[in-house]
C-alpha cells in the first residue's frame, strides 16, 4: 500500500511551541519539584523535548495504557499495561499525553492517580481534538488544537508505525 503523509504541524513549529510550554510550566511550578508522568508510548517524544527545556527540578515516571488496538478509532476499552514505578503520594504530578481525543484514557488515569493522593495533579497534552470529547476534562495546557483527523508522528502511531517522524502528519 502506498502511504502519503501530509504535514500538519512542521518540526520547527512543534519545537517552538514545546519550548514555550516548558517556560510556562517553569512559571507555574516556580521551582517546586515535579514528577512528570509520561503515558506510553505516544508521549515520549513530547516529554523528552519538553523536560529538556524546563528548569524546574523533575523526576520521570511512566505508565502504559492502550485503547486503540491497531486501528484509527478508539476501541473504548482501556488496557492497563504498566503501572508507575514509584508512589506519587504527596508529589506534584504532571501527566503528559500525546493527544486527547474522547478523554476516556485521561479520565481513567486521573481517577487512578487521584486515589493515590498526590499534592497536585495536572494534565498537559501536545494535541487536542476537542470536537471528539466524550468525557468533560480540560488539560491545564495544550500544544495545539486540531480538527478531527487521524495524525501520526512525534510519538503518535498508526498500528505502531510512524512514531519517529519529526513532525505531525495526516495519513492520506
Ligand atoms: P482518548 O482516550 O479517546 O482520549 O484517546 C487518547 C489516545 O488515543 C491517545 O493517547 C492516542 O494514543 C490515541 N489517539 C487518539 N487520536 C489519535 C490520532 O489521531 N493518532 C494517533 N493516536 C491517537
Ligand atoms: Mg496515547
pLDDT tens digits, 23-79: 999 999 999 999 999 999 999 999 999 999 999 999 999 999 988 777 777 778 889
Centre of ligand 1 to C-alpha 74, Å, is: 7
| Ligand 1 touching residue 108 (CB < 6 A) | no
Q: 117-156 burial string, b = 16+ CB within 10 Å, else e?
A: ebeebbbbbbbbbeeeeeeeeebebbbbebeeeebbbbbb
With left for phi above 0 and alpha for psi between -120 and 50, is residue 155 left, alpha or beta? left
Ligand 1 atom, smallest distance to 157 CA: 21
Ligand 1 atom, smallest distance to 105 CA: 2
Centre of ligand 1 to C-alpha 15, Å, is: 21
pLDDT above 80 for 96: yes
Centre of ligand 2 to C-alpha 151, Å, is: 12
Would you please indicate which residues are annotated as catalytic (active-site) residues? 101
pTM of structure? 0.95
Amino acid at each position: 500500500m502506498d502511504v502519503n503523509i501530509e504535514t500538519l504541524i512542521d518540526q520547527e513549529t512543534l519545537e517552538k511551541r514545546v519550548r514555550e510550554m516548558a517556560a510556562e510550566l517553569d512559571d507555574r511550578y516556580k521551582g517546586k519539584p515535579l514528577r512528570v508522568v509520561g503515558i506510553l508510548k505516544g508521549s515520549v517524544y513530547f516529554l523528552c523535548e519538553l523536560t529538556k527545556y524546563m528548569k524546574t527540578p523533575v523526576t520521570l515516571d511512566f505508565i502504559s495504557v492502550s485503547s486503540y488496538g491497531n486501528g484509527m478509532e478508539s476501541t473504548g476499552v482501556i488496557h492497563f499495561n504498566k503501572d508507575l514505578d514509584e508512589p506519587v503520594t504527596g508529589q506534584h504530578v504532571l501527566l503528559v499525553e500525546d493527544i486527547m481525543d474522547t478523554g476516556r484514557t485521561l479520565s481513567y488515569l486521573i481517577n487512578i492517580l487521584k486515589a493515590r493522593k498526590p499534592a497536585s495533579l495536572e494534565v498537559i497534552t501536545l494535541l487536542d481534538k476537542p470536537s471528539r470529547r466524550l468525557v468533560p476534562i480540560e488539560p491545564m495546557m495544550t500544544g495545539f488544537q486540531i480538527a478531527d483527523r487521524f495524525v501520526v508522528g512525534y510519538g503518535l502511531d498508526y498500528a505502531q508505525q510512524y512514531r519517529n517522524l519529526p513532525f505531525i502528519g495526516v495519513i492520506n
